[in-house]
Amino acid sequence: MNKMKNLMVFALAAVCLLVAGCSKAKTDAAQAGEGAERTVATTSPEKIIYYCWDDTSIKPMIDAFNAAQSEIFVDAQYLPSPDYETKITTLLTGHTEMDAYMQKRQADMFAHYNNGFIEPLDELLTKTGVNRVAVDSYLNAVSVDGKVLGFPWRGAAYYTYYNKKLFADKGVPTPDTYVKDGSWTWDKFAEVAAQVSSGDGSIYGASVYFWGSSQLMIEAQHQKTIINKDGALDYDSAILDWLRERRDMEKAKTMWPLIDMKVSATHYSKQFYDGQIAMLLIGEWFPGQLLAGRDQNLFVGYGWNDWGVTRLPCDSTPYVTMGAPTFSHVVSYSKHKEAALKFIAWMGGSDGAKMAARSGVLPAMVDAGVKEVLAESVPDADSLEYFTEDKTAFPMGMTNYGSRVEALIQDIQEEYLMDKLSDADFDTRLRTGLQEIIDTTN
């Protein structure tokens, strides 16, 4: 009996030990689980909110960054391109949660900085040690009063894009021919446009979009700011000279009329896709739009190898083109400034540059690897060389007055092109408008 009793006591003790062991195991597991959760929470990516517009070249870059590392996750907010400038300013004014954003109208940087929305990057650049080649390449366009405010990811340059087939159909040499022999001037541009035009408005020799800034290419080549940073007038006759040439070309049906583009809402990319223009003077992003046009079978009457890119017409040496890089800012009220800088620096670094090149845009930083990728976005070796050559790209409007100057030019150019202003009237309206901008800009 005692033996049986002892066995029962032993069995009961074993059960208790088993239960206790299980309880301890559960407790240990729970504690381990909590620790694991704490570890996951500690090592999960730091999320930043980034605003940009719905450009086809931007989303692949952001997706690639998120896939390439686990330290930072970019929560991208895409705004419609046509009203991006207004919406981003409204969001910043309302202190919408945001860590970084892309600047679309570059001169808006000045107003945003004056209103306290932009964080200067100098200390962050030093602290993080990120590659700043892109910043230094375009320092005059991303700094104010000696402070770096933006990090470029897309480079800057206007070019002549041309339809080889339309030139061949007319038996006219392509623009690169004149670049090579040093005769690609603005007079030659007008002459060639006339030679390749149909004369009835079905094929125009050239097109320049209706943006006010696009009318300032010759002024940019003279490296005039219109209004300099100190609030003094700084322009010459080049604005009027260009608009006079444009007006004459429009009347001769050798250039697509600016007013027609505005009224019909015909985008420059559609003009080129449809094979209706022989030359288009536009910026460094256009090969990306041509890639999209190719992939969507939008080209009419020609193929991928039937276009090229070369320099803008230029009356002087050394060669100068127009352009300001596309850049991003860190928001002053962000709680994730270092992470935000690391992301926009990645966009402007080697990895981001290759992604930009794959999308068919000129990156802010071009090395041998980037150039190799760009070769897939342009149709021939000569075009690649002109697209990537070292050049001076003068950033028009990069002062506190720039956005308003562009709007002024856009308004009065239409009156001039419709013969509502004489040359003297145009100059008076321009000078009066510029002085008003100077007097009323804070």
CB under 8 Å, gap of 24 or more: what pairs does 420-429 form?
423/240, 423/244, 426/240, 426/243, 427/240
Name the pLDDT band for 70 (thresholds 50, 70, 90).
very high
DSSP 358-378: HTT--BSS--HHHHHHHTTTS
Contact 148, 122 (CB under 8 A): yes
| Amino acid 43: pLDDT | 75
Is residue 228 classed as helix, strand or coil in its secondary structure? coil
What's the rounded Cα separation, in Å, for the pair 298 and 221?
33
DSSP bridge pairs for 207: 280
| Amino acid 20: pLDDT | 42
User: How far does CA 377 lie from the centroid of its chain?
Assistant: 17
Of 334, 312, 307, 337, the C-alpha closest to 323 is 312
Q: Tell me which residue has tokens 């040439």.
A: 245
DSSP-assigned letter for residue 205: E
Give ∠ CA 139-106-185 in degrees, rounded to 5.
80
What's the rounded Cα separation, in Å, for the pair 378 and 367?
16
Classify domain 46-155+325-365 at the CATH superfamily level. Answer: Periplasmic binding protein-like II (3.40.190.10)
Of 91, 208, 98, the C-alpha closest to 161 is 208
CATH architecture observed for domain 158-322+395-440:
3-Layer(aba) Sandwich (3.40)
Contact 222, 243 (CB under 8 A): no
Distances in Å between the alpha carbon of 423 and those of 49, 153, 430? 49, 40, 11
| Amino acid 269: pLDDT | 97
Name the pLDDT band for 15 (thresholds 50, 70, 90).
very low
Of 289, 326, 267, 364, the C-alpha closest to 57 is 289
Q: Report the b/e string of 269-284 with b at 16+ CB within 10 A.
A: bbbbbebbbbbbbbbb
Question: Average pLDDT of 11-27?
Answer: 39
Contact 113, 144 (CB under 8 A): yes
- Tokens standing for 395? 């950033």
CB atoms < 10 A from the CB of 25, how many? 10
Name the pLDDT band for 1 (thresholds 50, 70, 90).
very low
**Whether residue 32 has pLDDT greater than 50:** no
Q: Which residue has the higher pLDDT, 6 or 213?
A: 213
314-328 pLDDT per residue, tens: 999 999 999 999 999
Distances in Å between the alpha carbon of 335 and those of 16, 68, 76, 157, 169? 53, 23, 16, 35, 59
**Whether residue 53 has pLDDT greater than 70:** yes
Q: How many residues does the chain have?
A: 442
183-195 pLDDT per residue, tens: 999 999 999 999 9
**Whether residue 107 has pLDDT greater than 60:** yes
333-354 pLDDT per residue, tens: 999 999 999 999 999 999 999 9
Cis geometry, peptide bond prior to residue 379 (ω within 30 degrees of 0): no
Name the pLDDT band for 42 (thresholds 50, 70, 90).
low
Q: Quick one: which H or E segment has residue 324?
A: none
- Tokens standing for 194? 């006339």
Domain-wise residue ranges, the chain: 46-155+325-365, 158-322+395-440
| Amino acid 57: pLDDT | 86
